[in-house]
Amino acid sequence: MSIVITGATGHLGRHVIEGLLEKVPADLITAVVRNEDKAADFAARGVRIAVADYNTPETFDGLFKAGDKVLLISGNEFHKGRVGQHRVVLDAAKAADVALFAYTSAPGSLTAALADDHRNTEAAILESGVTYALLRNGWYNENYTEQLAPVLQSNSVTQAAGEGRVASAARADYAAAAVAVLTGEGHENATYELSGDTAWSFAEYAAELGRQSGKEIAYNAVSVEAYTGILTGHAGLPAPLAAILGEVDRSIEKGELAATGGDLSRLTGRPTTPIADSIAAALNR
């Protein structure tokens, strides 16, 4: 039996591998990676490395064994058809008769188009008949705290979310929940709505950032159209990505990412990381 993590060299995947290393022997962990060099540190610690790509089904041939527990970390290649990519991993896991197939999904309340891939992947998982665990991850604190340079330069947090609130948590919290599911009992065919314990507004976020940085930082609430214009213009983002981010803000304004149901802290056995802590970590980096 192995605990197999795809996307292991991504931000979330690295946290999951670190969390697993604290709980199980390294040779029980398999990191699935595209680039073996990026996983050299894991290999040096005894983690098994498998090289595979969601775009190349044959790279998953024979990768999983009966009884494995698998975590499929959703891909980030929006333009390549993520549902088809995820099906490649699912089909291989189903063929191998794995014991558990966990998937990092999106909140059930999210209507932004970004959620469609997750909804369709969940449907494929249910249809396949594998024993599953759906980890519907809410928003990462780091979605905001990793973008501080332009905010600190302009002294403004520009978003199109109005007074909407975000119940975000740190990536490390979501990773700890995945580790709990992969190493614990009783998660078969469970669906978890994972989110932070506290929801915050962008006005509160700007105020906290101002307090910690010693600057006057305002929340500049703009329309979705103005926001996508700023992202494609000044920030240089591709139009499809800007449209996705604009839609997410519209969802935030509607309260779709504000639920604080407590599944995440219940799974990890500790409170989630407040946004203020992630701001502090980013400012001190």
Instruction: Give yes or no for a contact between 132 and 103, defined as CB atoms under 8 angstroms apart.
Output: yes
Does 79 sit near ligand NAP (CB under 6 A)?
A: no
Smaller CB distance to ligand NAP: residue 123 or 225?
123
Q: Kindly identify the residues of this chain, within the stretch 129-148, that bind ligand NAP according to CB under 6 A.
A: 137, 139-140, 143
Q: Kindly identify the residues of this chain, within the stretch 142-201, that bind ligand NAP according to CB under 6 A.
A: 143
Smaller CB distance to ligand NAP: residue 10 or 19?
10
Q: How far is the CB of 94 from ligand NAP (least distance, A)?
A: 18
Q: How far is the CB of 183 from ligand NAP (least distance, A)?
A: 19
Q: How far is the CB of 214 from ligand NAP (least distance, A)?
A: 28
Does 76 sit near ligand NAP (CB under 6 A)?
A: yes
Does 77 sit near ligand NAP (CB under 6 A)?
A: yes
Instruction: Give yes or no for a contact between 39 and 49, defined as CB atoms under 8 angstroms apart.
Output: yes
Does 10 sit near ligand NAP (CB under 6 A)?
A: yes
Smaller CB distance to ligand NAP: residue 175 or 276?
175
Q: Which of 3, 47, 72, 73 binds ligand NAP (CB under 6 A)?
A: 73
Q: For residue 193, how far is the Cα from the chain centroid?
A: 13
Q: Kindly identify the residues of this chain, within the stretch 27-56, that bind ligand NAP according to CB under 6 A.
A: 34-35, 38, 53-55
Does 87 sit near ligand NAP (CB under 6 A)?
A: no
Q: How far is the CB of 59 from ligand NAP (least distance, A)?
A: 8
Smaller CB distance to ligand NAP: residue 140 or 200?
140
Size of the residue set binding ligand NAP (CB under 6 A): 23
User: What are the residues binding ligand NAP (CB under 6 A)?
Assistant: 7, 9-13, 34-35, 38, 53-55, 73-77, 85, 104, 137, 139-140, 143
